Structure 1
């Protein structure tokens, strides 16, 4: 099937004045470099707002004239304009707008002179693969998009997903509009700005800076724009199955001035707890499935505590590295009837280095042990199943040079020295790492604002990451 036609993008702007800025848009401030640093990371704070704070960052000067040209060519205004266009595409997972966001990326990559592979993914066929990561959104097709700067194996891959989660209650958004970018006080707000369209436009901005500066890379750099990340990662899976690889990969997920070198995984569990229905006036004759569910909750808390004892050093800073939580519960269908079925679904963390099957077995065993100790559940055991996406854990191999290369690119481009951490949530990192491709995450934004009604990304953060990406591409790929 030929690529979908380009989507007409609205050029309308929706910028909040300082007086109209909601309280939740008060984070993060514009950052200006002190005189001892390389350059101002945000050249024109007046354009975006008035909140300014100063910080002292000791930066390494770029080593070559070509690197300096590339850094000077980073166009933050153009990056914000790109973000405005991409946010305007409501690419909720499973919607046709996912295709439109991929078309937008394909058009941008073509304009950069990349060789673009934009193809239709047959999701039904892909789902037959034994390693298919699953999906929660209802889709029969999706589109992949890969751009490669030149022939040969890419020395560096930039990866980002273009799908977003639903906006939730529209009354929580200014003007009930999550998809009009609002720029004020040094931040850009709207659905997908943080997770992770900000990262996508930042690495596209870096590649545009290389082109503007006339910097030709000796080895290819690639961009993988993927869909379906939020509900399992089918886009990355399809891209890798198609044969698109590289020597190393940087995923532009929000990392808040850190480098994420490992991800814990996550699974969705479903518990079906049987009861025995009866009239509410004779409840003593029945067994409440709701009460049996309540009795299981302490068991799940104990399991979570055991699994978080002695965590890997990369995630030891987290209060709960591998969370276990119940997110939904559906019980009963009539107020005066003792419920005969409770269905609970939740999120279950997978430890670093742990196989998914091992994590599932420990969960199932804990539930089975609780059932065995209860007279009713011993005869009518809880059914455990695993719907939705499967996020295994993943990590960058210890000692791989990509980590130090990324760290040096960040500081040499004017950014603060990043801490190296692990994250408690799953991303596409685990899929790239599983192929043997060394992968880490570094991108603009704070994950605490992902999926939230106050989702936003700092303008200075976008520029800082774009500069680091440009320098990393030059140093990893070389100059022709």
Structure 2
């Protein structure tokens, strides 16, 4: 029996242990404190300590530390930096196997924070219940399923009596769900590798890119007046309906989206970048025209559109200029220009599919009976900072990403096992192994 067969047999024989480890991660509700109205103790540290004990039992050298926003000021204006963010009791964790070995190194990377459970669950969101071949729970998809799989892949290799020829670093970080400062800090802390698998959910496809995301809020001014009464011309002091002016802007965005549907596409993305309106807020009384309207939107951008700080400044300028030009075509808006308040700029990244590491991952996936499909992710992940410092990175993990943050979030247990196999195979082929 060769080395690969030994490892695959170990995984087959220890499926219950793999799933139990994922359940144990789910049962520690490491909800990012950003989601609470009142700040309270986070259980992210509890998860990290649990993972650390697991990795140390396998012989890893571990390091755990709390990010410090003051130490990251040099990244102002770049992805993941938020001044003054508090990480007390919210540590990052790195565990290194095979330190000092001469082979190619691999970073297995993921975040351990989750969003709050929310309502309308039919099972306990923090139990990890298995029903009809699916494990339910907050984080099964995003992304404790991937974190469990990457850790168990390392265990499968080591427990099969193999020794690494190249280092493997397991990195688990906090704060992805509120902007990605944990990943920024991890890279700032100095951890590097020859390649990286970020174990976000991809339904077992290879995703060598993710899109950037901009959140913006447009404020449109009107002038209130009695909605049931005749109104003078606005130049003579009459009312101006901010909702009607918002509709004008929305129509302009529809025209822009038609252009973007042609110009902002990527061969590995199934849908083009668009400006999607997420919220409309306007009006004060049923008897008054709206004094102000607010449009909250989500716009996506491609890695090729990043600015000099590797974020979405170019697209921000494009949208700001577009809004101004649209407003100048309307007499009222040209004198009361709408303003954009930028809320979030979540970065993007891409690794060339021809890179040897991407092809190694495809071959690993095909070797365990999957198709080895390559497709991009339409949402943001933490892959930006590894790519920014020269680490070829893919996203790969179990679970359908469209189920992330849902009530009754679930991952097929078969995908968890397959993810363990794929990453174990990649460790063998990329880092190299020999009998201990």
Q: Give the TM-score, by structure 1 length.
A: 0.80
Matched, 1:155 2:92: no
SS in 2 for 1:365: helix
2-structure distance, mates of 1:130, 1:137: 8
SS in 2 for 1:194: coil
CA contact (8 A) 1:158 1:251 kept: yes
SS in 2 for 1:238: helix
Matched, 1:67 2:4: yes
Of 220-229 and 282-291, more deviation after overlay is shown by 282-291
Matched, 1:292 2:292: no
Of 110-119 and 275-284, more deviation after overlay is shown by 275-284
Query: Which residue does the alignment assign to 1:404?
Result: 359
Q: Cα distance, 1:137 vs. partner?
A: 12
Q: Cα distance, 1:155 vs. partner?
A: 0.7
CA contact (8 A) 1:127 1:134 kept: no
Matched, 1:307 2:253: no
2-structure distance, mates of 1:98, 1:344: 34
Change (3 A) 1:283 1:68: farther
SS in 2 for 1:118: strand
Query: Which residue does the alignment assign to 1:247?
Result: 194
**Deviation digits for residues 21-78 of structure 1 (CA, Å, limit 9, x no counterpart):** xxxxxxxxxxxxxxxxxxxxxxxxxxxxxxxxxxxxxxxxxxx722221111122211
Q: Cα distance, 1:82 vs. partner?
A: 1.4
Query: Which residue does the alignment assign to 2:37?
Result: none
Query: Which residue does the alignment assign to 2:329?
Result: 373
Of 93, 117, 122, which residue of structure 1 is paired with 2:32? 93
Change (3 A) 1:259 1:385: same
SS in 2 for 1:302: helix
Q: Cα distance, 1:393 vs. partner?
A: 2.5
Matched, 1:217 2:171: no
Q: Cα distance, 1:134 vs. partner?
A: 4.2
1-structure distance, mates of 2:191, 2:57: 20
CA contact (8 A) 2:79 2:346 kept: yes
Query: Which residue does the alignment assign to 2:22?
Result: 83
State the aligned residue count: 410
Superposition pairs for residues 457-472 of structure 1, below 5 Å?
A: 457-472=411-426
Q: Cα distance, 1:458 vs. partner?
A: 0.8
**Deviation digits for residues 60-104 of structure 1 (CA, Å, limit 9, x no counterpart):** xxxx72222111112221121111111122222236123332233
Query: Which residue does the alignment assign to 1:57?
Result: none
Q: Which runs of 5+ in 1 are unaligned?
A: 1-63
Change (3 A) 1:229 1:338: same
CA contact (8 A) 1:79 1:202 kept: yes
SS in 2 for 1:461: helix
Superposition pairs for residues 217-236 of structure 1, below 5 Å?
A: 217-236=164-183
CA contact (8 A) 1:261 1:420 kept: yes
**Deviation digits for residues 343-395 of structure 1 (CA, Å, limit 9, x no counterpart):** 2222110023111122111111111111101111111111112113x222211
Q: Give the TM-score, by structure 2 length.
A: 0.88
2-structure distance, mates of 1:399, 1:99: 38
Root-mean-square deviation (Å):
2.2
Q: Which runs of 5+ in 2 are unaligned?
A: 35-41, 232-237, 307-311
Q: Cα distance, 1:470 vs. partner?
A: 0.8
Matched, 1:337 2:337: no
Q: Cα distance, 1:325 vs. partner?
A: 1.1
Query: Which residue does the alignment assign to 1:46?
Result: none
Query: Which residue does the alignment assign to 1:387?
Result: 343
CA contact (8 A) 1:143 1:227 kept: yes
2-structure distance, mates of 1:447, 1:136: 26
Of 432, 435, 447, which residue of structure 1 is paired with 2:389? 435
Change (3 A) 1:266 1:275: same
Of 461-470 and 270-279, more deviation after overlay is shown by 270-279
2-structure distance, mates of 1:274, 1:125: 40
Of 88-97 and 199-208, more deviation after overlay is shown by 88-97
SS in 1 for 2:376: strand
2-structure distance, mates of 1:365, 1:121: 37
Of 214, 237, 244, which residue of structure 1 is paired with 2:184? 237
2-structure distance, mates of 1:380, 1:429: 40
2-structure distance, mates of 1:378, 1:347: 24
